[in-house]
Structure 1
Amino acid sequence: MKCREPRLKSCCCCVNLRAGCSFLAVFEICSSILGLFAGEGARLLVLGRAAYMMHFIGSIFLLISSFLQIEVLVFIYLVTNIVHLIFSTAFIIDYGVSCGFCTLEAIPVVITLLFSIYFWLVAFSYWRRLRWENNPENDD
Structure 2
Amino acid sequence: MKCREPRLKSCCCCLDLRAGCFFLAMFEIFASALGFFVAEDSRILLLGRTAYMLHFIGSVFLMTSIFVQIEALVVIYMVTNVVHLIFCTVFLIEYATYSSFCALETVPAFFTLTLSIYFWLVAFSYWRRLQWEHNPEFDE
TM-score using structure 2 length: 0.91
Alignment of 1:38-49 (within 5 A): 38-49=38-49
Query: What corresponds to 2:113 in structure 1?
Result: 113
State the superposition RMSD in angstroms.
1.6
Alignment of 1:116-135 (within 5 A): 116-135=116-135
User: What fraction of aligned residue pairs are identical, expressed as a percent?
Assistant: 67
Q: Which deviates the most, 75-84 or 127-136?
A: 127-136
SS of match in other structure, 1:15: coil
Alignment of 1:33-112 (within 5 A): 33-112=33-112
Q: After superposition, what is the alpha-carbon deviation per residue over 1:32-75, rounded to whole angstroms, capped at 9, x for unaligned? A: 01111001222101100110000000000000111111100000
Q: 1:136 Cα shift?
A: 5.8
Select the structure with the greater relative contact order (CA < 8 A; seq sep ≥ 6): 1
Q: After superposition, what is the alpha-carbon deviation per residue over 1:55-96, rounded to whole angstroms, capped at 9, x for unaligned? A: 000000000111111100000000000000000100011001
Question: What is the distance in 1 between the residues matched to 2:35 and 2:23?
Answer: 18
TM-score using structure 1 length: 0.91
Flag as ranges the 4+ runs of structure 1 deviating above 6 A: none
Structure 2 stretches lacking a partner, 5+ long: none
Distance 1:18 1:94, change over 3 A: same
Distance 1:20 1:5, change over 3 A: same
Question: What is the distance in 1 between the residues matched to 2:100 and 2:64?
Answer: 40
Aligned residues: 135
Contact 1:34 1:109 in 2 (8 A): no
Structure 1 stretches lacking a partner, 5+ long: none
Paired residue type of 1:39? A
